């Protein structure tokens, strides 16, 4: 019998081939037309878990209708007296538009200079394969696992996991565990490890502005009626000051202020604003006054316009006042903001600032996520920190993330356990953007790190 390291070394070509298969499934969770593809990705995961030696694999329904994408569950529970670890990941992906900016089709993965390019390679298909392969390597080389393992792999993370809360509550006993390890996350860089202890929350809405009951001639009606695009622009502009501060009344009320200690800790983590600007092709960064860029993205909430549309978008000129205009908004939230309360504040602001001459309706987004903060010295974090130290030769940075993983807050609330973020994405890999990629080196390092982590977790206390 070989060691898990030998098993991993031997099987990398096969694992890569499998990752390509997985990436070919266009499992976009936000689009109703891809609902079958999300399920197909789930079925692919079930097969892969089975080959890895996981037991009791099943596809669990989370709702009768879109977007109630299924959860794939599987376990291996033959380590009595050892802790039970629930491993989290997701097999759904973001949409791919603007598709003309991709250098190769988003669902036809390619390997170039050690990087796998495809939608989902980084977030989270490549990343979530890592612990499955590590578990397989341990089972094939050692005949058993050092801890009890439950896999919880979902298909709606990219839309904020809207149907998971009642589903997790209803299956509380099945998912009971000592901690969660999430394979949806990343490291600081190729050479610097990170432990994410905070995530922002999320809430979403679409604003629909209606003026005249049809598109009308801008010559005939121009000057007589409110233009829905103008009205939308006015309303949206009322929500944010030119300097970036959000003007929605009460928006900052529940924000937990940064302590001087937290500000100092954040300041020690390396950050090169010039590199970041160069990466994005920007001459200036921008945001709420009084905070550093890192503080703004980690510990301050935002209100972002994710999309806007109305009227004529073709080439040339169309002299029209459109009937409708629309905008999509998401807010990133920080402790102790609550998504529902922020939605209410937005509703109140919109009601108060609706320009004359138009009607406004709101579609409240199914995506909602509570902000998350965990103790830096949690036993799972300590085990992960030991692996980091061994693999990278340095302590991890205790960082936060500007993004949102609804799952972390949900499992903390429902199951009373924290989630250790142990993923291997890197920040330059264009998650959510065209030409997303995942480094093969991260894919391999992750597998090794998970084998080491599961052994270390065997030393932590079981409940």
* Near a second copy in 432-461, by CB under 8 A: 432-435
Nearer to a second copy, 104 or 433 (CB): 433
Report 127-186 residues binding a second copy (CB under 8 A). 158-160
Q: Does 328 bind a second copy (CB under 8 A)?
A: yes
Across 118-227, the runs of DSSP E, i.e. the strands, are 148-154, 179-182, 194-199, 201-210, 216-217
Work out which of 119, 150, 240, 349 binds a second copy, going by CB under 8 A: 240
Rg (CA), the chain: 23
Q: How far is the CB of 424 from a second copy (least distance, A)?
A: 16
Stretch of residues binding a second copy (CB under 8 A), selected from 41-49, 52-60, 215-223, 386-394: 215-223
Nearer to a second copy, 355 or 396 (CB): 355
Report 21-80 residues binding a second copy (CB under 8 A). 30-32, 67
Q: Does 360 bind a second copy (CB under 8 A)?
A: no
Is 261 in a helix, a strand, or coil? Answer: helix
Q: How far is the CB of 250 from a second copy (least distance, A)?
A: 19
Q: Does 187 bind a second copy (CB under 8 A)?
A: no
Stretch of residues binding a second copy (CB under 8 A), selected from 14-22, 74-82, 217-225, 452-460: 217-225
Residue 291, CA distances (Å) to 98, 223, 442 in order: 32, 43, 32
Q: Does 419 bind a second copy (CB under 8 A)?
A: no
Q: Does 284 bind a second copy (CB under 8 A)?
A: yes
Work out which of 74, 89, 212, 371 binds a second copy, going by CB under 8 A: 212
Burial label, 451 (beta-carbon count in 10 A; 0-12, 13-18, 19+): buried
Nearer to a second copy, 327 or 342 (CB): 327
Strands of 84-90's sheet, edge to edge? 55-60, 71-76, 148-154, 84-90, 179-182, 419-421
Q: How far apart are CA 88 and CA 101, in angstroms?
A: 31
Q: How far is the CB of 36 from a second copy (least distance, A)?
A: 16
Binding-residue total with a second copy (CB under 8 A): 99
Q: How far apart are CA 295 and CA 292, in angstroms?
A: 5
Q: Are 157 and 90 in contact (CB under 8 A)?
A: yes
Q: Does 257 bind a second copy (CB under 8 A)?
A: no
Q: How far apart are CA 160 and CA 202, in angstroms?
A: 8
């Amino acid at each position: 019998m070989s060691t898990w390291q030998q098993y991993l070394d031997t099987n990398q070509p096969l694992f890569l081939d499998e990752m390509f298969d997985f990436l070919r499934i266009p499992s976009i969770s936000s689009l109703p037309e891809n609902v079958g593809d999300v399920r197909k990705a789930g079925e692919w995961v079930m097969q892969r878990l089975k080959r890895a030696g996981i037991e009791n694999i099943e596809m669990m329904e989370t709702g009768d209708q879109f977007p109630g994408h299924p959860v794939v569950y599987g376990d291996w529970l033959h380590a009595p007296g050892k802790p039970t670890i629930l491993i989290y990941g997701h097999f759904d992906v973001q949409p791919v538009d603007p598709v003309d900016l991709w250098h190769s089709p988003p669902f036809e993965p390619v390997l170039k200079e050690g990087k796998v390019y495809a939608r989902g390679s980084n977030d989270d298909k490549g990343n979530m394969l890592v612990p499955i392969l590590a578990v397989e390597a341990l089972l094939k080389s050692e005949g058993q696992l050092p801890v009890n393992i439950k896999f919880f792999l979902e298909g709606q993370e990219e839309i904020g996991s809207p149907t998971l809360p009642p589903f997790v509550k209803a299956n509380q006993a099945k998912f009971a565990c000592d901690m969660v390890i999430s394979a949806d996350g990343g490291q600081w860089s190729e050479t610097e490890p990170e432990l994410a202890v905070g995530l922002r929350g999320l809430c979403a809405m679409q604003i629909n502005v209606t003026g005249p009951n049809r598109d009308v001639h801008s010559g005939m009606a121009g000057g007589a009626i409110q233009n829905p695009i103008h009205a939308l622009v006015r309303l949206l502009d009322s929500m944010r000051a030119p300097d970036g501060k959000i003007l929605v009344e009460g928006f900052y009320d529940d924000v937990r202020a940064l302590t001087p200690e937290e500000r100092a800790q954040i300041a020690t983590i390396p950050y090169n604003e010039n590199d970041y600007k160069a990466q994005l092709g920007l001459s200036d960064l921008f945001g709420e006054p009084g905070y550093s860029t890192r503080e703004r993205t980690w510990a301050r909430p935002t209100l972002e316009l994710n999309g806007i549309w109305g009227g004529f978008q073709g080439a040339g000129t169309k002299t029209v006042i459109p009937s409708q205009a629309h905008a999509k908004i998401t807010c990133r939230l920080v402790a102790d903001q609550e998504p529902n309360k922020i939605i209410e504040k937005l509703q109140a602001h919109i009601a108060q600032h609706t320009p004359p001459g138009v009607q406004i309706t709101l579609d409240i987004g199914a995506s909602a996520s509570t902000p998350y903060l965990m103790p830096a010295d949690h036993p799972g974090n300590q085990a992960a920190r030991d692996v980091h130290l061994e693999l990278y030769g340095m302590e991890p940075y205790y960082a936060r993330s500007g993004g949102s993983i609804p799952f972390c807050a949900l499992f903390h609330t429902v199951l009373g356990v924290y989630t250790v973020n142990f993923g291997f994405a890197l920040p330059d890999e264009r998650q959510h953007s065209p030409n997303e990629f995942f480094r093969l080196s991260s894919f391999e390092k992750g597998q090794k790190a998970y084998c080491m982590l599961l052994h270390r977790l065997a030393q932590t206390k079981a409940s």
